[in-house]
Amino acid sequence: MSQTPDLKGSSFPLTVLHMYEHNTDSAISYLDEKVAKAPAFFKSAPVVINLSQANADLDLTRLKQGIINIGMVPVGVTECTNKHLEKAAREAGLAVMSGTQRPDKAPVAITPSKIVRNPVRSGQQIYAKDCDLIILSHVSAGAEVIADGSIHIYGTLRGRALAGANGQSASIICHNMQAELVSIAGNYWLSEQIESHYWGEQVILSLTDQTLHCDLLNIK
């Protein structure tokens, strides 16, 4: 028996572009540079535009088209308190998303960690929904591991690791840091942003005041 479509709430990691004033050209150039550095991560990635500090004369139609032209997908705006900008966003075909805080949830049962025992090969993606992710082997270049919680990698991380994918604070621990990209709650570093003295070492990455921090783990 066929089933009718069903709408359900869910959460996905989204890239958020924070606009300051109204310099559309610099925003597009900035995104173009990011896509060029990590095309596998940013190509076709959904983008939400944060307008909390944008000027009222920001050309959202032009910004939307510029984002499309570089290969990303603009889906909406958030933190839009200016009625003129809200109207412009709707006319540009962008969703106006609420930036309000979610109500506090009652404590939930602890979800067991997802454990992956085999190497994660190039082109593979592993996602641990509502839990931590433990990789007992290596993550190859071109592979991607994602968790709503923290990520523990007991081998070499050469691919991409995205922890806190649902927006919560988390950490990334790996025994050999050679990542293409690391991200916690949407805050990310590309490989060239990882300081050289952390490269190839045991490290823990954490998030403080929306800024990534990396520390060595002296475990023998």
In the predicted model, is pLDDT for residue 107 greater than 60?
no
Which amino acid does the sequence have at 42? Answer: F
Question: Is residue 57 packed enough to be buried (19+ CB in 10 Å), middle (13-18) or exposed (0-12)?
Answer: exposed
Phi/psi class of residue 154: alpha, beta or left (left: φ > 0; alpha: ψ in -120 to 50)? alpha
Share of the chain above pLDDT 70, in %: 88
The mean per-residue pLDDT over the stretch 128-157 comes to: 95
What is the share, in percent, of the chain residues with pLDDT greater than 90? 50
pTM: 0.63
Residue 195 neighbours by CB under 8 Å, 6+ apart:
214
- State which CATH number among 3.40.50.1860, 1.20.120.160, 3.30.70.260, 3.40.1280.10 fits the domain covering 15-97: 3.30.70.260
Strand ranges inside 79-168, DSSP E: 95-97, 114-116, 125-128, 133-135, 144-147, 151-157, 160-163
- Considering the segment(s) 114-216 as one domain, its CATH architecture is 3 Solenoid (2.160)
User: What pLDDT sits at residue 99?
Assistant: 55
Q: Where are the domains of the chain?
A: 15-97, 114-216
